[in-house]
Amino acid sequence: MQREDPLHRWFVTEVLPLERELERFIARHCRERDEVVDLRQGCYERALEGAARALPQSSRAYLFTIAR
């Protein structure tokens, strides 16, 4: 049996469900609509880098702070 990585589990269960809300947030604050997906991916990358050190207590607050 393969153990599931806690970082992967956190990302799938806590971060990915926020995708639509995150995209709307970025779109409201971004002048170029074509950049929304790239910015979202950048937020995911930064979130994973930081969470690799320690998982945040509030995933939503953490992700939207990065997006801001």
pLDDT tens for the 68 residues of the chain, in order: 356 799 999 999 999 999 999 999 999 998 888 899 999 999 999 999 999 999 999 999 999 999 99
Q: Which amino acid is at 26?
A: I
Q: In this predicted structure, what is the pLDDT of residue 44?
A: 98
Count CB neighbours of 66 within 10 A.
Answer: 16
pTM of the model: 0.88
Q: In this predicted structure, what is the pLDDT of residue 3?
A: 60
Q: What would the two tokens of residue 15 be?
A: 């971060």
Burial 10-34 (b: 16+ CB within 10 A, else e): bbeebbeebeeebbebbeeeeeeee
Q: Any long-range contacts for 45-49 (C-beta under 8 Å, 24+ apart)?
A: 47/11, 47/15, 48/7, 48/11
